[in-house]
Amino acid sequence: MPRESVNDLLAFLAVAREKNFTRAAAKLGVSQSALSHVVRQLETRLGIRLLTRTTRAVSLTEAGERLFQGVGPHFDEIDAQLDALTELRDRPAGNIRITASDHAIKWIIWPKLQRFLPNNPDIKVELIRENGLSDIVTERFDGGVRMGEQVAKDMISTRIGPDFPFAVVGTPSYFDGNGVPEHPQDLVRHNCINERLPTYGGFWAWEFEDNGKEIRIRVEGQLAFNNSYQSVEAALDGLGLAYVPEDVALPHIAEGRLRRVLEAFSPHWDGYHLYYPSRRQSSPAFVALVDALRHRA
């Protein structure tokens, strides 16, 4: 196959995976206009349109999807074989892409990477912040991070963090003006800060336990976000009650800026796990990273 054809296919695959010329061009290290020109050349040579372009999105045509599904796995296999050659090196090397929530990155992954990366200069780690539950195979991630109960049964997983509780918090002034909830059911009468999770398709129901029985409360309020840190900021401004991982709120509770309520009803959530499809696909670099992230009680 001529080198030009290989380059054209790599360009097409990058756009097909990113569904965006700007992001694909950045990954390939070329300009957006140059990438667009290469893809058009491929379409012209094949005599068929592979991509549908609009001002907002890029999608695959039927022919494009067929080419992507037929050719993409072969290039993935080539990448895997090249990565496998790192076993012959004196030290692990390679690129690793992980998707995780902002909370998992900040509190679990990043502190461990600070120790791991200086000792492994040939390993590059890309962290993609997502609060939804991505399909790591389709999105070409090497691994993902979820709470243990959310990991699919067909995935291999390694615990990387301890179990942890959530905390309902608000400012002292909020409670002075609105009263203190004594039971999770009381939250329906409060201004609560909702959190929208893409995977759930709507607002997340706040979950509690009462004598071993699970309670799910659909709260209402003026504000909603898609991450815990903005919810805490809104709570600090006195705009309602937030339900966030305990470690996010503890510094503010310790300094008296926030007050915690309903602690007796807050269960411990199954801690974060790193998950991935198959041990057979694990490069030495990935194996080293898994060991570095592993939770040791």
269: pLDDT confidence band, cut at 50, 70 and 90?
confident
Q: Is 82 part of any domain? A: no
Region 202-210 average pLDDT? 89
User: In angstroms, rounded to a whole number, what is the distance separating the alpha carbons of residues 177 and 16?
Assistant: 53
User: In angstroms, rounded to a whole number, what is the distance separating the alpha carbons of residues 219 and 205?
Assistant: 7
Q: Is 80 part of any domain? A: no
User: Do 93 and 175 have their domain in common?
Assistant: no
Q: Is 227 part of any domain? A: yes
CATH number at residue 217: 3.40.190.290
Residue 263 has pLDDT above 90, yes or no: yes
Residue 183 has pLDDT above 80, yes or no: yes
The model's pTM: 0.68
Total domains in the chain come to: 3
CATH number at residue 136: 3.40.190.10
Give the pLDDT score at 26. Answer: 84
Exposed e or buried b per residue across 64-99, where buried means at least 16 C-beta atoms within 10 angstroms of its C-beta: beebbeeebeeeeeeeeeebeebeeeeebbbebbbb
Q: Which of 57-61, 197-201, 214-218 has the lowest mean pLDDT?
A: 197-201
User: Do 168 and 262 have their domain in common?
Assistant: yes
pLDDT digits (tens, 9 = 90+) for 6-23: 888 888 888 888 888 888
User: Do 173 and 237 have their domain in common?
Assistant: yes
User: Do 148 and 282 have their domain in common?
Assistant: yes
Helix (H) or strand (E) holding 228: helix 228-236
Instruction: Kindly write down the DSSP assignment for every residue of 21-88, as one continuous string.
Output: HHHHHHHHTS-HHHHHHHHHHHHHHHTS--EEE-SS-EEE-HHHHHHHHHHHHHHHHHHHHHHHGGGG
**Final residue before a domain boundary, out of 40, 75, 110:** 75
**Final residue before a domain boundary, out of 46, 75, 104:** 75
What is the residue range of 228's domain? 164-269
User: Do 187 and 154 have their domain in common?
Assistant: no
Instruction: Return the higher-pLDDT residue of 186 and 203.
Output: 186
pLDDT digits (tens, 9 = 90+) for 23-56: 888 888 888 888 888 888 888 888 899 888 876 7
**Final residue before a domain boundary, out of 20, 50, 75:** 75
- Report the candidate in 104, 155, 116 with the shortest Cα–Cα distance to residue 270: 104
pLDDT digits (tens, 9 = 90+) for 154-180: 788 899 999 999 999 999 999 999 999
73: pLDDT confidence band, cut at 50, 70 and 90?
confident
Residue 199 has pLDDT above 60, yes or no: no
User: Do 181 and 102 have their domain in common?
Assistant: no
pLDDT digits (tens, 9 = 90+) for 233-258: 999 999 999 999 999 999 999 999 99
